[in-house]
C-alpha cells in the first residue's frame, strides 16, 4: 500500500468509529456550523487545533499560515475573519503560536529563504519593534522564544486593528481576542494576552471613527 493511502484508510476507520459511537454524529454536523471560536494558528503540523484543545469538528473555525500572521492586506485571512465575525458571529478569536516556530526562527536570521522572505519579512518588522527587549536576553533560545511571544501579541492587535472587528465590537460587544502560545515540549498552551471587546488600541491611529459600511 502506498503511504498516502494510509490516510484514506484511516479516514474510513474514523468515520466508521464515529457512527458506531454516535449514529447522529454526521447528520448533526451537516446541518449546522455555529462555532464560537476562530483560531488563527501556525501551519506547523505539530500544532493541530482540535486535538490540542480536545474540541470536535464544528467547534472551531480555523485559519492557519506560516507563523500565525495577521496581515492587513491578506485577502485569505480577511475573508476568513469577515465570515467568522459577521456570519458565524464567533465569540472569541484566538491567535495561537508556538515555541520552536520555524517561521519565526527564519525571520530572526539573516539568511535568505526564497519567496517566503516576503512573508516572514512581517516578523522582522515585529523584531524591529521589540529589538531592545529581545537583545537584552542572554541566550539565542530565550531571544527566539520572546520574539515568538511578542509576534503573537502583535498579531492579536492586528486583528483588533481591522474594521471588521471594530465594527463587531461596536455592534455586539464581541468577539474577545486572545493570544496563546503552545509549548511543543509539554503540550501546554499558555495565555499571553486577552483583549476584551471595545478595548482601546495601543496605537490610536488604527482606530476607525466612521465604521458604518466600512470594509
Give catalytic residue positions: 42, 44, 46, 98, 101
Closest approach, Cβ 1 to Co ion, in A, equals 31
Stretch that binds Co ion, among 40-48, 50-58, 81-89, 171-179 (CB under 5 A): 40-48
Q: Which of 38, 44, 108, 134 binds Co ion (CB under 5 A)?
A: 44
Q: Decide whether 60 or 123 has the Cβ nearer to Co ion.
A: 123
Q: Decide whether 44 or 154 has the Cβ nearer to Co ion.
A: 44
Count of chain residues binding Co ion (CB under 5 A): 3
Residue 42 touching Co ion (CB under 5 A) = yes
204: number of CA atoms within 13 Å, CB side?
1
Q: DSSP per residue over the chain, as a string? A: --TTHHHHHHHHHHHHHHHHH-TTHHHHHHH----SEEEEEE--TT--HHHHHT--TTSEEEEEETT----TT-HHHHHHHHIIIIIS--SEEEEEEETT-HHHHHHHS----GGGHHHHHHHHHHHHHTHHHHHTSSSHHHHHHHHHHHHHHHHHHHHHTSHHHHHHHHHHS--EEEEEEE-TTT--EEEEEEE-TTPPPSSGGG--S--TT--
Residue 153 touching Co ion (CB under 5 A) = no
Stretch that binds Co ion, among 3-11, 37-45, 147-155, 186-194 (CB under 5 A): 37-45
* Torsion of the alpha carbons at 156, 161, 162 and 164, rounded to the nearest 10: 90
Residue 120 touching Co ion (CB under 5 A) = no
Q: Decide whether 66 or 93 has the Cβ nearer to Co ion.
A: 66
Q: Decide whether 101 or 165 has the Cβ nearer to Co ion.
A: 101
Closest approach, Cβ 56 to Co ion, in A, equals 24
- Residues 55-114 close enough to bind Co ion by CB under 5 A: 101
Q: Decide whether 101 or 153 has the Cβ nearer to Co ion.
A: 101
Q: Where on the chain is the footprint of Co ion (CB under 5 A)?
A: 42, 44, 101
Amino acid at each position: 500500500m502506498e503511504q498516502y493511502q494510509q490516510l484514506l484508510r484511516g479516514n474510513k476507520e474514523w468515520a466508521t468509529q464515529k457512527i458506531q459511537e454516535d449514529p447522529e454524529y454526521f447528520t448533526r454536523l451537516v446541518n449546522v456550523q455555529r462555532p464560537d471560536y476562530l483560531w488563527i494558528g501556525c501551519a506547523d503540523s505539530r500544532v493541530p487545533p482540535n486535538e490540542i484543545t480536545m474540541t470536535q469538528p464544528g467547534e472551531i473555525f480555523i485559519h492557519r499560515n506560516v507563523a500565525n500572521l495577521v496581515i492587513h492586506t491578506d485577502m485569505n485571512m480577511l475573508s476568513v475573519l469577515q465570515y467568522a465575525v459577521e456570519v458565524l458571529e464567533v465569540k472569541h478569536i484566538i491567535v495561537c503560536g508556538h515555541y520552536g516556530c520555524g517561521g519565526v526562527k527564519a525571520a530572526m536570521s539573516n539568511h535568505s529563504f526564497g519567496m517566503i522572505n516576503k512573508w516572514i519579512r512581517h516578523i522582522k518588522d515585529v523584531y524591529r519593534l521589540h529589538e531592545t527587549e529581545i537583545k537584552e536576553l542572554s541566550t539565542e533560545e530565550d531571544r527566539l522564544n520572546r520574539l515568538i511571544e511578542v509576534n503573537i501579541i502583535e498579531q492579536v492587535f492586528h486583528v483588533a486593528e481591522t474594521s471588521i472587528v471594530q465594527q463587531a465590537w461596536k455592534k455586539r460587544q464581541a468577539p474577545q481576542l486572545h493570544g496563546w502560545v503552545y509549548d511543543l515540549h509539554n503540550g501546554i498552551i499558555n495565555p499571553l494576552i486577552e483583549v476584551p471587546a471595545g478595548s482601546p488600541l495601543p496605537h490610536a491611529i488604527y482606530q476607525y471613527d466612521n465604521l458604518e459600511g466600512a470594509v
